[in-house]
Each structure stands twice: as C-alpha cells, then as structure tokens.
C-alpha cells in the first residue's frame, strides 16, 4: 500500500523560502523507474505541476518556476524535499506530492497522492 504525506509550514512570509517534505511508504525511490512529483493548487483554481525527481536523481522543473524550485530526495528516509524561494501571495496554495507510476517516457501518471498541505503566504 502506497501512502504519502506532506509536511511543512502552514504560513510563510513574503520573500521567505518554503521547505516542504513528502514522507512516503510502500515504494522505494531507490527502485529503478520510480519517481515522485509535486503539484500545487491555489484555492479554487486548477492543478499546477511543479517538479519531479526520479530514482536516479534525474530532476525536472516547471519552466515557469524553475529558477525558484529545488527538489531533492533522501531514499534512505523515504523522503523528498521541495524548496521554493522568494515566496509571494500568489504562491498560496495546497501543495501535493504524488507517486509517479513507472512507465515508458510520457506514459507515466500520478496514481497515489498525499492529502496535501495548505501553505498561506502572508505578512
């Protein structure tokens, strides 16, 4: 059974750096093909993909946010960390982590999602 859970601050100030942790079980990021992604959703708005990391430490970022994002993994702890710099009110959203089911390139999908964590950016 695959489970994921996001953790981190619920409130950050503008210009601060956000650090979120995804703790997961039921799979290993050391296993070939495995990946984990971050997706966010502003209140009442659509899903937006942020970043993705694979078992081999291959990393990919949303082109529009690439300069502000860093994704890292600690496979031994079953954790993935996302940092986002220079937070702004527009970054207020629920942040989800999701397991990427291994498949051929561009055939992958997010089957298992965490419960999400709401991050509010306000002074």
Q: Does 5 bind other proteins (CB under 8 A)?
A: no
Span 24-43, contacts to other proteins by CB under 8 A: 37, 39
The CA angle 91-93-98, to the nearest 5 degrees, is 115
Interface residue with other proteins, options 91, 110, 119, 121 (CB under 8 A)? 110
Nearer to other proteins, 6 or 18 (CB): 6
Nearer to other proteins, 13 or 103 (CB): 103
> For tokens 């509010």, what's the residue?
120
Nearby residues of 58 by Cβ (< 8 Å), 6 or more positions away: none
In angstroms, what is the minimal distance from the CB of 102 to other proteins?
A: 12
Q: Does 47 bind other proteins (CB under 8 A)?
A: yes
Interface residue with other proteins, options 19, 21, 23, 49 (CB under 8 A)? 49
């Amino acid at each position: 059974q695959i489970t994921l859970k996001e953790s981190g601050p619920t409130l950050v100030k503008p210009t601060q750096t956000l650090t979120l942790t995804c703790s997961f079980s039921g799979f290993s990021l050391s296993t070939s093909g495995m990946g984990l992604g971050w997706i966010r959703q502003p209140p009442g708005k659509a899903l937006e993909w942020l970043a993705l990391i694979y078992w081999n430490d291959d990393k990919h970022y949303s082109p529009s946010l690439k300069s502000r994002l860093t994704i890292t993994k600690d496979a031994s702890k079953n954790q993935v960390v996302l940092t986002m710099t220079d937070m702004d009110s527009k970054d207020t959203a629920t942040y989800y982590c999701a397991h990427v089911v291994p498949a051929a390139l561009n055939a992958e999908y997010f089957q298992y999602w965490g419960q999400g964590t709401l991050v509010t950016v306000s002074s």
